[in-house]
């Protein structure tokens, strides 16, 4: 790309998470955008600070220490912008935000399996907790619906329903119940409303709700026809509405919005945006999957030919709602991931203790094992929830399995702060259980959402930063699907290196094998499946594929899909330890 296409603009990107605030500097080096450095500090949305600005400044100070650059005024601690001739300051700021309690949301649609599902998918594209739903099959009287809304005290109402030019009377009835409920709420507690239904009713919606809600936004119909779902305009409008809501709820958000000249987005939305963009850019024939396990939510963004599936799941977060995970899953399902002999009671107490102090981190190996097991299950649940919303053309060949992917990108504290890169990879493999052949990258500095929002300033920035190696390549994974018994040989693999040497592996069912291939190197991998197993080329099909290296190299995962985990705890722990040892302990 010619250097002249890139504006010579330094960009400070700030991510305010539930527990950690990061300040990241992107700058132009030799005509290309590069990730320069990052600094971090604890987030300060919560008491006693109750102002995200404190954490933001601390994170910038930490970045200043790393880079030696002066970004904040010495006296007033205000951001220096634009960059000054003496080298201080930055040209532009962009920001993402995931801090704040889950947004209590009422979802409204007409048909429970059509517009209500679209409204739900729209609501789940941000940090919402659905507290009530209304649709035609709801047999409550309007006053009962109203009381239910009043009791749930929503922050947000997402309204869909009716194809464009279609039914209107039923929606109007629901609008009345919502309007009355909002009217009865104190002014400062009235929810914000996003209407994404029949466009013919937009004026009626304004008339019925306009004066009684915190803010009303009308966007494109998420279901313009029965067969079509169009979530993207609604997602964008919802992201903007979320930031307005956070400005109302959290001190310092308004200032950050001013610093960023309006380039402030929900972290998950920005993550989704960059995945959709990359999926288009790289003309990904299969899919790109990005997962982020955080304190406020576990987010899954998948791009298939430019079509985005975005699921934000506060119920699978590792922060203050962690104890709620036990309402979503059985404790035995978390225990199945334990590498150490730790009782379920200890796990239960850990969940509750961690909920009390969401920012705390595991200091010992036992705690680390607990933390990893919880993260695996949270991510497993989130990926399975998101998978239900993948587009029809991306459905997997077998029910319950992932569709083939071109790339997986993992991020979030619990994944990037593992004791080794092998542990990060194993966590992703266990929870996602991908099929086929794909590289897996680790977003160690949680840059992906920041690239998504920085794209507002420069379309080149995300691509140039990614191509400059800002993410860590963990390796290329080959997943083997086979109907075999534990220990049966299912694949012969041979990796030919660029220097003419080669490495071989006889892969047995139930095991993990690694063929070393350092980062930056490429090789040709010959796969010869046995017993009609499928190594990503089709059942029983052999072939040669080009592969790229990574920290682990080429990882052949023949542990089964779905993953075969023994029910006997002793045997299970032994196996888990072996897998862990294989990836470097």
> Which chain residues interact with other proteins by CB under 8 A?
19, 41-42, 44-50, 54, 58, 100-101, 141-143, 146-147, 150, 180, 183-184, 186, 320, 323, 345-346, 348-354, 356-368, 417-420
Give the shortest CB-51-to-other proteins separation in angstroms.
11
**Cα 530 to Cα 536: distance, rounded to the nearest angstrom:** 13
Residue number, 54 or 470, with CB nearest to other proteins: 54
Give the shortest CB-364-to-other proteins separation in angstroms.
5
Q: Which secondary-structure segment (H or E) carries 354?
A: helix 344-356
Collapsed DSSP state (helix, strand, coil) of residue 406 = coil
Q: Is the sign of the CA dihedral 220, 453, 43, 350 positive or negative?
A: positive
| Residue 301, CA distances (Å) to 190, 280, 386 in order | 31, 14, 8
In SS3 terms, 451-497 reads as: HHHHCCCCCHHHHHHHHCCCCEEEEEEEECECCCCCCCEEEEEEEEE
Give the shortest CB-585-to-other proteins separation in angstroms.
9
Give the shortest CB-488-to-other proteins separation in angstroms.
34
Give the shortest CB-255-to-other proteins separation in angstroms.
18
Sequential DSSP letters for 550-567: -SS-EEEE-STTTT---S
Collapsed DSSP state (helix, strand, coil) of residue 163 = coil
Q: Which secondary-structure segment (H or E) carries 36?
A: strand 32-42
DSSP 112: T
Beta strand 288-293 with 298-304: parallel, antiparallel or unpaired? antiparallel
**Cα 327 to Cα 57: distance, rounded to the nearest angstrom:** 37
Q: 357: left (phi > 0), else alpha (psi -120 to 50), else beta?
A: beta
How far, in whole angstroms, is CA 166 from its chain's centroid?
35
Residue number, 350 or 579, with CB nearest to other proteins: 350
Residue number, 344 or 468, with CB nearest to other proteins: 344
DSSP 282: T
Residue number, 58 or 513, with CB nearest to other proteins: 58
Give the shortest CB-62-to-other proteins separation in angstroms.
9
Backbone angles phi, psi at 550, to 5 degrees: -170, -175
Give the shortest CB-252-to-other proteins separation in angstroms.
13
Give the shortest CB-495-to-other proteins separation in angstroms.
29
Give the shortest CB-47-to-other proteins separation in angstroms.
3
Residue number, 164 or 176, with CB nearest to other proteins: 176
Residue number, 83 or 245, with CB nearest to other proteins: 245
**Cα 291 to Cα 423: distance, rounded to the nearest angstrom:** 16
In the block, which residue shows the tokens 């979802």?
Answer: 107
> Which of 267, 207, 208 has the alpha carbon at shortest distance from 243?
267
Residue number, 47 or 74, with CB nearest to other proteins: 47
Q: Give per-residue burial for 241-259: e unless 16+ CB within 10 Å, then b.
A: bbbbbbbeebebbbbbbeb
Residue number, 50 or 393, with CB nearest to other proteins: 50
**Tokens representing residue 509 in the block:** 């069912």
> Are 196 and 220 spatial neighbours (Cβ–Cβ below 8 Å)?
yes
Residue number, 333 or 367, with CB nearest to other proteins: 367
In SS3 terms, 244-264 reads as: HHHHHHCECHHHHHHHCCCCE
**Tokens representing residue 108 in the block:** 């409204």
Residue number, 41 or 194, with CB nearest to other proteins: 41
Give the shortest CB-335-to-other proteins separation in angstroms.
15
Sequential DSSP letters for 412-424: SHHHHTSSSHHHH
**Cα 99 to Cα 18: distance, rounded to the nearest angstrom:** 4
Residue number, 189 or 504, with CB nearest to other proteins: 189
Residue number, 206 or 365, with CB nearest to other proteins: 365
Rounded to the nearest 5 degrees, what angle is found at the Cα of 446, between the Cα atoms of 371 and 578? 40
Residue number, 45 or 134, with CB nearest to other proteins: 45
Give the shortest CB-178-to-other proteins separation in angstroms.
13
Give the shortest CB-437-to-other proteins separation in angstroms.
30
Give the shortest CB-323-to-other proteins separation in angstroms.
8
Residue 111 CB-half CA count within 13 A = 10
Residue number, 49 or 497, with CB nearest to other proteins: 49
Beta strand 103-108 with 156-159: parallel, antiparallel or unpaired? parallel
> Are 287 and 304 spatial neighbours (Cβ–Cβ below 8 Å)?
yes
Give the shortest CB-41-to-other proteins separation in angstroms.
7
**Cα 131 to Cα 416: distance, rounded to the nearest angstrom:** 32
Give the shortest CB-141-to-other proteins separation in angstroms.
7
Residue number, 125 or 418, with CB nearest to other proteins: 418
Backbone angles phi, psi at 98, to 5 degrees: -130, -5
């Amino acid at each position: 790309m010619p250097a002249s296409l890139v504006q010579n603009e330094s960009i400070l990107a700030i991510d305010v998470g539930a527990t950690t605030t990061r300040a990241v500097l992107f700058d132009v080096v030799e005509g290309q955008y590069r990730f320069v450095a990052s600094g971090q500090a604890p987030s300060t949305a919560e008491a006693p600070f109750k102002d995200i600005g404190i954490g933001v400044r601390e994170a910038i100070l930490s970045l200043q220490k790393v880079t030696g650059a002066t970004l904040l005024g010495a006296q007033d601690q205000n951001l220096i912008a634009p960059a000054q001739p003496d080298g201080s300051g930055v040209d532009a700021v962009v920001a993402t935000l995931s801090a704040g309690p889950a947004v209590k949301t009422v979802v409204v649609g007409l048909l429970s399996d059509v517009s209500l599902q679209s409204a739900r998918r729209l609501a789940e594209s941000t940090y919402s907790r659905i507290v009530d739903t209304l649709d035609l099959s709801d047999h409550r009287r309007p006053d009962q619906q109203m009381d239910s809304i009043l009791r749930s005290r929503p922050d947000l109402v997402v309204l869909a329903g009716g194809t464009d030019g279609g039914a209107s009377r039923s929606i109007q009835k629901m609008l009345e119940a919502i309007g009355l409920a909002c009217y009865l709420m104190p002014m400062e507690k009235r929810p914000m409303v996003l209407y994404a239904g029949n466009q013919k009713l937009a004026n009626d919606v304004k008339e019925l709700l306009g004066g009684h809600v915190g803010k009303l936004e009308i966007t494109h119909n998420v279901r313009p026809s029965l067969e079509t779902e169009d979530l993207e305009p609604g997602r964008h409008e919802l992201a903007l509405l979320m930031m307005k809501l956070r400005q109302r709820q959290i001190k310092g958000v308004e200032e950050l919005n001013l610093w960023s000249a309006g380039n402030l987005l929900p972290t998950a939305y920005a993550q989704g945006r960059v995945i959709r963009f990359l999926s288009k850019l790289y003309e990904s024939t299969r899919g790109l999957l990005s997962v982020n396990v955080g304190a406020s939510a576990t987010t899954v963004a998948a791009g298939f030919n430019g079509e985005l599936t975005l699921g934000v799941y506060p119920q699978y977060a590792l922060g203050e709602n962690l104890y709620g995970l036990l309402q979503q899953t059985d404790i035995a399902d978390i225990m199945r991931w334990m590498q150490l002999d730790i009782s379920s009671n200890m796990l239960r107490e850990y969940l509750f203790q961690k909920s009390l102090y969401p920012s705390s981190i595991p200091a010992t190996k036992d705690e680390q094992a607990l933390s990893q097991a919880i993260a695996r299950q949270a991510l497993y649940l989130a990926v399975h929830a998101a998978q239900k919303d993948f587009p029809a053309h991306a459905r997997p060949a077998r029910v319950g399995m992932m569709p083939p992917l071109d790339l997986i990108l993992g991020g979030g504290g619990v994944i990037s702060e593992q004791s080794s890169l092998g542990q990060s990879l194993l966590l992703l493999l266990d929870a996602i259980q991908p099929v086929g052949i794909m590289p897996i990258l680790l977003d160690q500095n949680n840059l992906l959402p920041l690239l998504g929002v920085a794209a507002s300033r420069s379309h080149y920035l995300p691509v140039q930063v990614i191509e400059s190696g800002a993410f860590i390549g963990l390796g290329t994974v080959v997943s083997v699907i086979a109907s075999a018994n534990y220990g049966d040989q299912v694949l012969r693999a041979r990796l030919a290196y660029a220097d003419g040497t080669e490495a071989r592996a006889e892969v047995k069912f139930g095991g993990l094998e690694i063929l070393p291939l350092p980062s930056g190197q490429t090789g040709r991998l010959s796969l010869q499946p046995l017993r009609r197993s499928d190594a990503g080329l089709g059942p029983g099909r052999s072939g040669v594929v080009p592969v790229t290296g990574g920290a682990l190299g080429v990882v052949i995962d023949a542990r089964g899909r779905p993953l075969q985990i023994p029910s006997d705890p002793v045997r299970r722990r032994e196996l888990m330890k072996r897998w862990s040892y294989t990836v470097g302990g």
